[in-house]
């Protein structure tokens, strides 16, 4: 692929971008060197970007001068989960496009783009304007520069994507190229089950409620040979909703024996799963994150070996209890102090650094995911609030969108449908995609939830349902059962046909034809009914 036209370097936080001098495949400033080397790739040529810095490094910018079509529509990804904000837009030079970008020429129909391979050594984003594109390599350590001290770091492998026939096929080919080097993982099969979050919301549930959820999902699966999961979400540990560890026991009187709970779920015919928040502790004085944390306790800095020992111990404990699936959550927020939409180009607050200042934040997060994967061994791992481009291949399932809702249908439409429509090409390439739960609650219209259920089930992505016992009806049970069994059988093929002009597509292509979903209730209908 073509090498960049210009390279700029920012050593420290107070420094401006300095243009590097080019000498063949190298660009240099007084204390920094960037080396470009070709990388093979079937259908997507690439170039590795290695950075050597004698001291501190903050950012590198690579610029390609190339004209975009006047009427181009541009698509990018998100730092972690999406928040109902993925969409094709006209060119906006200030728009930050994490990880990859595509441009669709509305006149010719051609779609092309660029991106970086998964597992980069930097947080990588793009800006696109009429005269060219810029790749921004964020090499910082927390809110300050990384002290590379002469170490050679492969910051990214850049890929260029040719038109594959349609925008959808081009994005599928792009995600295939960016993840082609990932090692094979065991096939975990369809991931389908119950999750109690969207009716319990972390409060007022106990082992009896958990076992009722397990019995419900087994009943709805109706003897399907693939066993469903039953996940105990937030609220089972003594700290309560949203709290941190220690993760050594359940709440006395509600979950007295977590091993016995897991075994009881198995006896009912489901596979037990568990939620936890690995980088927050209620115990003060532990290897704290420089940003501080929530009271009581604080976020933990994953560059302390003792923190990784804690996380390993937690995962080993969950395995010893008999849980087969673990969902780890909140680590992006606990590392950056922000959720994805607030990260922007700065990522986090300025002026702080990790205990280990010699690795980039991307390296630290990637190493953290690798530790969880190694400690999880044969567990099915779900990453929630995790960075998709770094978690690829290190989680089995990735929550790709922000929370759906058992209280507000509009949130499910905005988050769930958008996430599935724009990130489905990552499914089975980066990980098994999870667009989040389908609620069945008295507060949300089942008529619309049932449509979302059908969409997720057909996609073959992970399907979790949150079924409030008070919302079960003959119709809901029948439609839940149909969707669950379809998902357990692997689903179908899906493609959003109106995604160029619709952030929550209504028209979808399947292997047998076209389906239209209406995500709105008839005018004047009560959104809480159904």
Average pLDDT estimate for 69-97: 97
- Of the candidates 126, 266, 277, the residue with the CA atom closest to the CA atom of residue 210: 266
- Residues 441, 406 contacting (CB under 8 angstroms): yes
- pLDDT per residue as tens digits for the range 259-301: 999 999 999 999 999 999 999 998 877 888 888 755 556 899 9
Express as a percent the part of the chain with pLDDT over 90.
90
CA atoms of 448 and 411, how far apart (whole Å): 12
E-strand ranges in 359-510 read 380-383, 397-399, 432-434, 438-440, 463-467, 495-496, 507-510
- pLDDT per residue as tens digits for the range 293-342: 555 568 999 999 999 999 999 999 999 999 999 999 999 999 999 999 99
Q: What's residue 288's pLDDT?
A: 85
Average pLDDT estimate for 396-409: 98
Express as a percent the part of the chain with pLDDT over 70.
97
As a whole number, the mean pLDDT across the chain is 95
Q: What's residue 289's pLDDT?
A: 86
Q: Is the pLDDT of residue 529 over 50?
A: no
- pLDDT per residue as tens digits for the range 160-191: 999 999 999 999 999 999 999 999 888 999 99
- Of the candidates 113, 178, 79, 175, the residue with the CA atom closest to the CA atom of residue 388: 79
Average pLDDT estimate for 357-368: 98
pTM of the shown model = 0.96
pLDDT level of residue 523 (50, 70, 90 thresholds): low
The continuous run of DSSP H or E covering 36 comes out as strand 32-39
Average pLDDT estimate for 226-245: 93
Domain with CATH 3.20.20.70 in the chain: 194-393
pLDDT level of residue 524 (50, 70, 90 thresholds): low
- Residues 115, 122 contacting (CB under 8 angstroms): no
Fold assignment, 194-393: TIM Barrel (3.20.20)
DSSP assignment, residue 183?
A: P
Q: What's residue 530's pLDDT?
A: 42
Longest CA–CA separation in the chain, Å: 73
CA atoms of 189 and 227, how far apart (whole Å): 10
CA atoms of 271 and 175, how far apart (whole Å): 31
């Amino acid at each position: 692929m073509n090498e960049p036209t210009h390279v700029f370097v920012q050593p420290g936080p107070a420094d401006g971008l300095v243009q590097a001098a080019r000498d063949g495949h190298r660009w240099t400033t007084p204390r920094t060197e960037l080396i470009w080397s070709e990388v093979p790739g079937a259908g997507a040529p690439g170039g590795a970007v290695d950075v050597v810095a004698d001291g501190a490094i903050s950012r590198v910018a690579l610029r390609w001068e190339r004209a975009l079509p006047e009427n181009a529509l541009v698509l990018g990804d998100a730092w972690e989960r999406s928040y109902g904000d993925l969409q094709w837009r006209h060119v906006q030079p200030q728009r930050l496009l994490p990880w990859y970008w595509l441009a669709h020429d509305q006149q010719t129909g051609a779609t092309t783009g660029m991106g970086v391979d998964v597992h980069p050594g930097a947080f990588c984003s793009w800006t696109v304007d009429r005269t060219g594109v810029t790749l921004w390599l964020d090499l910082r350590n927390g809110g300050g520069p990384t002290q590379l001290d002469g170490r050679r770091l492969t910051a990214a492998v850049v890929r260029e994507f040719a038109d594959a026939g349609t925008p959808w096929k081009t994005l599928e080919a792009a995600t295939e190229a960016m993840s082609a080097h990932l090692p094979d993982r065991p096939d975990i099969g369809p991931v389908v089950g119950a999750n109690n979050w969207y009716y319990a919301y972390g409060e007022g549930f106990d082992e009896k409620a958990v076992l009722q959820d397990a019995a419900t999902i087994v009943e709805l699966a109706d003897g399907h040979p693939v066993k469903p999961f039953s996940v105990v979400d937030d609220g089972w540990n003594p700290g309560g909703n949203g709290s941190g560890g220690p993760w050594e026991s359940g709440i006395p009187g509600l979950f007295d024996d977590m091993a016995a709970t897991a075994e009881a779920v198995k006896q009912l015919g489901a596979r037990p799963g568990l939620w936890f928040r690995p980088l927050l502790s209620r115990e003060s004085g532990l290897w704290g994150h420089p940003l501080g944390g929530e009271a009581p306790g604080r976020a933990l800095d994953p560059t302390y070996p003792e923190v990784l020992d804690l996380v390993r111990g937690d995962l080993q404990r969950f395995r010893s209890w008999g849980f087969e699936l673990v969902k780890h959550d909140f680590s992006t927020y606990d590392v950056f102090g922000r959720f994805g939409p607030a990260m922007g180009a700065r990522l986090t607050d300025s002026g702080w650094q990790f205990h280990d200042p010699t690795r980039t934040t991307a390296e630290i997060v990637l190493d953290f995911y690798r530790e969880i994967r190694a400690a999880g061994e044969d567990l099915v791992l779900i990453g929630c609030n995790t960075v998709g481009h770094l978690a690829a291949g290190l989680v089995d399932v990735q929550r790709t969108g922000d929370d759906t809702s058992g209280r507000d249908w509009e949130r499910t439409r905005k988050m769930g449908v958008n996430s599935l429509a724009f990130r489905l090409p990552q499914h089975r390439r980066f990980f098994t995609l999870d667009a989040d739960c389908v609620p069945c609650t008295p507060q949300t219209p089942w008529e619309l939830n049932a449509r979302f259920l059908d969409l997720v089930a057909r996609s073959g992505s992970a399907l979790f349902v949150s079924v409030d016992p008070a919302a079960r009806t003959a119709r809901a049970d029948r439609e839940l059962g149909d969707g669950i069994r379809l998902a357990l059988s692997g689903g179908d093929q899906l493609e959003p046909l109106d995604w160029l002009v619709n952030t929550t597509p209504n028209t979808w292509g399947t292997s047998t034809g076209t389906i239209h979903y209406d995500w709105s209730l008839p005018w004047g209908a009560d959104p809480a009914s159904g």
